[in-house]
Structure 1
Amino acid sequence: MESQRNILLIGLLFVSFLLWQQWQADKAPQAQAQTNVATQTVQHSTDVPESDASVPATVAVSKDLITVKTDQLDVKISPVGGDIVYAALLSHKLELGKDEPFVLLEQTPGFTYIAQSGLIGANGIDSVDGRAHFTAAKTEYVMTGDTLDVPLTYTAENGATFTKIFSFRKGEFDIGVDYRIHNTSAEPLKMQMYGQIKQTVRASDSSMMMPTYRGGAFSTEKERYEKYDFEEMAKANLKEETQGGWVAMLQHYFVSAWVPQANEQNILFTRESNGVANIGFRTPVFTVAPGATDNVAAKFYVGPKDQAALSALSPTLNLVVDYGFLWWLAVPIYKLLMFFQSIVGNWGVAIILITLTVRGALYPLTKAQYTSMAKMRNLQPKLQEMKERYGDDRQKMGQAMMELYKKEKVNPMGGCLPILLQMPIFIALYWVLLESVELRHAPFMLWINDLSVQDPYYVLPILMGVSMYVMQKMQPMAPTMDPMQVKMMQWMPVVFTVFFLWFPAGLVLYWLVGNLVAIIQQKIIYAQLEKKGLK
């Protein structure tokens, strides 16, 4: 009976957790319609951030794009401003089994998601009224070695030359953006670099089963990782001064992020207008002396939430893989999962191994749970006698019960501890499976081609329900159990089966294997208890 109640407790706690997550997601703003429908050409609105000094300006439009292809990225750069207006991730497909790459940055009718950067200030070449028009040696660049540099040049009216260099590396999703300024004028040039990510406000594809986040995030010296969603951007502009830091736009499995120099005192900012949100950074004002050459640089990442690659850019950028309040438990689970996968080469098998590890580690507590339950059942006749003896005198009844428990060495809470430990582990693993891009399009075997989505034939949820039914039959209902509670327990396997139909296959696999291991452990423990005379 206690075990059945524990199963019900797990279900109620997890459903409550998912409802809470969905309530959080529902607070996010809904996508807003674009007031101006974009054309097929790449356009730039007057959203260049204001400098720390007053600046002049003009609006410009470019139809010619510079294409850059590496082994990982297909990128298009606009000569106006040198903005990245398109980025496709060649090693990550839009759909399983198809060749079309996943497009993260793009500008289409009704939707904009691009990365902008420039030089602003008293002698900057970008402003709210116009952007610098760069020229390039060619319109298409293809990586043939380990690195590829794409230089864009611009000459100002005072004769100063500006070279904007995009640097790509083989196997990487980060792009170096480096401005080299050669001041041929007789006056010092004062300016500052900015980088921002511009995106049309769009609601996340979050659901109760897949509570994912879409919106902004940033990091400062004080706040290692902080979300700043579209609704917050609409309410108030962010302005944080920090050494180093980064800004990002997040969505399920993927991220775009600007990472300025770690040793600089940067300003992080946001703006939202007409359904378009910007999050970005500004560097301090710097001066290029007459006849001197200077440079300023930043990194731009556009790709999957690869924790190793993100950590290499900034020690806190990997936190965009958000495991929630149980991150301290999810991180070692993720590392253990990666370790198993590196050995077996199959994410499904790795999930099975981590399930066996968790269940094995909890076995002493599980054994203590069933032992405590067996002792409690054996004490039922004595507890019933106490109830008849003391009647409604709860104080004497409580004292007598505690003395009995102490005498028989029974912990009445012994059956709850394993459940309380398993629930955080389950939630942490749930977030690991939900957030780990490694599981996207990762096959298991047979019909399971993608562990990050639901079982297309619902075989795993049905098997999970059957395993719950078997576990229930191994636990006979107590004669004194309330009939309504009996009916609830009988329906639990059905309810859980329906509930798990839309869960990611990897999570259902974990639960199914966990149930099978629990059944085996249950039979072993029961056999040991029988030998000790505990029914």
Structure 2
Amino acid sequence: MNSPRSILFIAFLVVSFFLYQNWVVESAPGTTAPTNSESTQQQAADSAGSNDVPSGSVAASSDVPEAEGASKTSSATTIHVETDVLDVQIDTRGGDIVSAKLLQFAKELNSDKRFQLLQNESNAVYVAQSGLIGADGIDNKNGRAVYSYEKTDYSSTSEKVEVPLTYTTESGVVYRKIFTFTPGQYDVDVRFEIENNSADTLSTQFYGQLKRSMGTGESGSMIMPTYFGAAYSHDDDKFEKYDFDDMLDSRLDVTSQTGWVSMLEHYFVSAWIPTQQQTNRLFSRVANGSQAIIGVVYPATQVNPNSTETIESKLYLGPKDQDSMAQLVEHLDLTVDYGFLWWLAQPIFKLLQFLQSIVINWGLAIILTTVIVKALLFPLTKAQYVSMAKMRMLQPKMTELRERYNSDRQKLSQEMMKLYKTEKVNPLGGCLPMLLQLPIFLALYWVLLESVELRHSEFIFWIQDLSTKDPYYILPILMGASMFLMQRLQPTPATDPMQQKLFQYMPVVFTVFFLWFPSGLVLYWLVSNLITIAQMLIIYRGLEKKGMMVRGNKKK
């Protein structure tokens, strides 16, 4: 396989891959409205359990209904908490986190506005809810508990912040819901303390759920398809996507001792992380036909008279930081979804991360990664061009065989194989390096697409965000020019006029195709081309000295 044909083959595979990705996006969560029958069936199920919260799962339609009583006031308010990384609002009705801004991440490049992960707007709901259900739960058909509070504003960038909320029943049972925020961390400890001052044994269950409007969020584009929906992990599966269409079709209902539930978008994630020492129930449902809910329910906790029990959980609200998520719970780092090439993408990311820690620039880290990859592939690249040169030298003999056995395909094939064996030529020797570069290209594509570390990371001059396209299209044009130069260096152009035309337009096609690629990926491809050009010049010079280079069918 000669180099232009290899490039064409890779182009076909890459285009096919992205067309497939686009098809996945078109049929992905939130992109297709539920049918009338689906919506009707789901809403009917919602209505059936709208004022009832079963002990085994949560079935509230639009949260658990409003509560009438409270220990301090029946009117709910919001509590503001700010650390160096999080700015959240907690609703005292239910103690839900109804707003969360990530202070280390701008909404857009060079914007003063911070990225908002959670919000509670009429047209866009995305909240983290938790409470106590069961026989003696305070979140039930009678409504959500409205907690009393000590103050409405907390702020610290150096010390832990504890936000205590309290609800006291008429029988004297005290329910405390305590949020603990740690500076520099995106995980929030959520702890319930149940002080039973009554004469009866209490039974209650913790639940935590994430609720999000299905019509909000983006699934990316053909070039940059990104997942928007839910995901979970349990005993039998490390990481499972569970999109909104899946929720409409059937409810999630599994038990597991390990795992978590989450809502995902491009670079950010929210996740309830239950304790891993008990058998919990993971569930999902759709409320009002438009709001997706995924959550976890603990087994019942028994609280004896005159005793106190504590129930703990964690809530993660932040970026898809693989290192920090891996420390919180097993497999949460898999929400950084590198696709089926994760086994290749993860080492590439680790290499990028290591190099960036040295050069302090993600663009330079990409260049160094490219140099390392091309150096590792150089033996195969050399073998490729040597094989191509030998194949060219055999062209006269191959032409003679085709003319001799034109009417006998089987005999022609046998004689061809005999010729390859005699001359010690592998007809597929030119393909291997190209095929090896394709998974590397795709793996790096996913790394640059999914890794939040590259979001808003600048390179030099006009490249201020390696995760988005080049605003002036300079890198794609340079990449196209490098492809054109590579073609000019090919010792044997295609002889077929149609192929010649096709190869001539390949740099143009690739240039147009790469206009919308992340600039970090285009940078990789450009540097790879430049290194390939240098390698071609070195290899061809050596082959010329050995008399193996031919142009047309003549030795040079």
Give the TM-score range, shorter chain: over 0.9
Aligned length: 524
1:23 aligns to 2:23 (yes or no): yes
1:320-335 aligned at under 5 Å gives the runs 320-335=335-350
CA drift of 1:144 comes to: 4.8
Q: Cα distance 1:3–1:236, how it changes in 2: closer, same or farther (>3 A)?
A: same
| 26, 50, 54: which one aligns with 2:54 | 50
Equivalent-residue separation in structure 2 for 1:503 and 1:422 (angstroms) = 18
Q: Cα distance 1:64–1:48, how it changes in 2: closer, same or farther (>3 A)?
A: farther
Equivalent-residue separation in structure 2 for 1:335 and 1:296 (angstroms) = 37
CA drift of 1:362 comes to: 0.5
Counterpart in the other structure of 1:233: 247
For the residue of structure 2 that corresponds to 1:413, the secondary structure is: coil
Counterpart in the other structure of 2:442: 427
| 400, 409, 414: which one aligns with 2:429 | 414
CA drift of 1:473 comes to: 0.7
Counterpart in the other structure of 2:325: 310
Equivalent-residue separation in structure 2 for 1:55 and 1:330 (angstroms) = 39
1:292 aligns to 2:296 (yes or no): no
CA drift of 1:352 comes to: 0.3
Letter paired with 2:163: V
| Contact map agreement 2:247 2:285 (CA 8 A) in 1 | yes
Letter paired with 2:9: L
| Contact map agreement 2:281 2:296 (CA 8 A) in 1 | yes
1:117-196 aligned at under 5 Å gives the runs 117-196=130-209
CA drift of 1:475 comes to: 1.1
Q: Cα distance 1:187–1:424, how it changes in 2: closer, same or farther (>3 A)?
A: same
Letter paired with 2:66: V
Equivalent-residue separation in structure 1 for 2:75 and 2:538 (angstroms) = 73
1:244 aligns to 2:251 (yes or no): no
1:257 aligns to 2:271 (yes or no): yes
Per mean C-alpha deviation after superposition, the further-off stretch among 486-495 and 138-147 is 138-147
Letter paired with 2:307: A
Q: Cα distance 1:410–1:76, how it changes in 2: closer, same or farther (>3 A)?
A: same
| 61, 66, 72: which one aligns with 1:59 | 66
1:522 aligns to 2:536 (yes or no): yes
Counterpart in the other structure of 1:41: none
1:72 aligns to 2:85 (yes or no): yes
CA drift of 1:146 comes to: 2.5
Q: Cα distance 1:53–1:9, how it changes in 2: closer, same or farther (>3 A)?
A: closer
Equivalent-residue separation in structure 2 for 1:423 and 1:124 (angstroms) = 55
CA drift of 1:108 comes to: 1.3
Q: Cα distance 1:328–1:48, how it changes in 2: closer, same or farther (>3 A)?
A: farther
Residue-by-residue CA offset, 1:421-445 (whole Å, 9 max, x unaligned): 1111110110001000000000000
1:333-482 aligned at under 5 Å gives the runs 333-478=348-493, 481-482=495-496
Equivalent-residue separation in structure 1 for 2:59 and 2:302 (angstroms) = 16
CA drift of 1:525 comes to: 0.5
Q: Cα distance 1:47–1:244, how it changes in 2: closer, same or farther (>3 A)?
A: farther
For the residue of structure 2 that corresponds to 1:224, the secondary structure is: strand
1:206 aligns to 2:210 (yes or no): no
Q: Cα distance 1:159–1:458, how it changes in 2: closer, same or farther (>3 A)?
A: same
Residue-by-residue CA offset, 1:330-358 (whole Å, 9 max, x unaligned): 11111011010011000000000111111
Letter paired with 1:122: A
Counterpart in the other structure of 1:91: 104
Equivalent-residue separation in structure 2 for 1:151 and 1:266 (angstroms) = 25
Counterpart in the other structure of 2:13: 13
For the residue of structure 2 that corresponds to 1:395, the secondary structure is: helix
Equivalent-residue separation in structure 2 for 1:500 and 1:373 (angstroms) = 28
| 117, 120, 123: which one aligns with 1:110 | 123
Equivalent-residue separation in structure 2 for 1:62 and 1:475 (angstroms) = 77
Q: Cα distance 1:463–1:257, how it changes in 2: closer, same or farther (>3 A)?
A: same
For the residue of structure 2 that corresponds to 1:208, the secondary structure is: coil
CA drift of 1:478 comes to: 3.9
| Contact map agreement 2:159 2:182 (CA 8 A) in 1 | yes
| Contact map agreement 2:270 2:318 (CA 8 A) in 1 | yes
Counterpart in the other structure of 2:519: 505
Counterpart in the other structure of 1:40: none
Equivalent-residue separation in structure 1 for 2:59 and 2:169 (angstroms) = 15
| Contact map agreement 1:73 1:90 (CA 8 A) in 2 | yes
Per mean C-alpha deviation after superposition, the further-off stretch among 364-373 and 390-399 is 390-399
| 500, 507, 517: which one aligns with 1:486 | 500
Percent identity between matched residues is: 55
| Contact map agreement 1:267 1:283 (CA 8 A) in 2 | yes
| Contact map agreement 1:244 1:262 (CA 8 A) in 2 | yes
Residue-by-residue CA offset, 1:96-128 (whole Å, 9 max, x unaligned): 112110000001121100000000000000014
Equivalent-residue separation in structure 1 for 2:121 and 2:52 (angstroms) = 20
Residue-by-residue CA offset, 1:302-336 (whole Å, 9 max, x unaligned): 01000011111111000000000011111111101
| Contact map agreement 1:246 1:260 (CA 8 A) in 2 | yes
Equivalent-residue separation in structure 2 for 1:55 and 1:129 (angstroms) = 14
Q: Cα distance 1:53–1:533, how it changes in 2: closer, same or farther (>3 A)?
A: closer
Equivalent-residue separation in structure 1 for 2:387 and 2:242 (angstroms) = 48
For the residue of structure 2 that corresponds to 1:429, the secondary structure is: helix
Residue-by-residue CA offset, 1:42-84 (whole Å, 9 max, x unaligned): xxx9588532399998524965200000000000000001000
- RMSD (Å) for aligned C-alpha atoms: 1.9
| Contact map agreement 1:444 1:451 (CA 8 A) in 2 | yes
For the residue of structure 1 that corresponds to 2:238, the secondary structure is: coil
Residue-by-residue CA offset, 1:487-532 (whole Å, 9 max, x unaligned): 0100000010000000000000000000000000000000111111
| Contact map agreement 2:56 2:297 (CA 8 A) in 1 | no
Residue-by-residue CA offset, 1:277-302 (whole Å, 9 max, x unaligned): 10000001110000001100100000
Counterpart in the other structure of 1:319: 334
What is the TM-score when the length of structure 1 is the normalising length? Answer: 0.95
| Contact map agreement 1:352 1:513 (CA 8 A) in 2 | yes
Equivalent-residue separation in structure 1 for 2:32 and 2:145 (angstroms) = 32
Equivalent-residue separation in structure 2 for 1:126 and 1:59 (angstroms) = 9
CA drift of 1:157 comes to: 2.0
| Contact map agreement 1:118 1:126 (CA 8 A) in 2 | yes
Equivalent-residue separation in structure 2 for 1:300 and 1:115 (angstroms) = 8
| Contact map agreement 1:337 1:354 (CA 8 A) in 2 | yes
Per mean C-alpha deviation after superposition, the further-off stretch among 371-380 and 306-315 is 306-315
| Contact map agreement 1:254 1:303 (CA 8 A) in 2 | yes
Per mean C-alpha deviation after superposition, the further-off stretch among 24-33 and 412-421 is 24-33
Equivalent-residue separation in structure 1 for 2:2 and 2:58 (angstroms) = 72
| Contact map agreement 2:493 2:500 (CA 8 A) in 1 | no
Q: What are the ranges of 5 or more consecutive residues in structure 2 without an aligned counterpart?
A: 40-48, 68-73, 550-556
Q: Cα distance 1:305–1:47, how it changes in 2: closer, same or farther (>3 A)?
A: farther
Q: What are the ranges of 5 or more consecutive residues in structure 1 without an aligned counterpart?
A: 36-44
| Contact map agreement 1:54 1:121 (CA 8 A) in 2 | no
For the residue of structure 2 that corresponds to 1:225, the secondary structure is: strand
Letter paired with 2:104: S
What is the TM-score when the length of structure 2 is the normalising length? Answer: 0.91
| Contact map agreement 2:326 2:333 (CA 8 A) in 1 | yes
Letter paired with 2:86: L
Equivalent-residue separation in structure 1 for 2:75 and 2:115 (angstroms) = 25
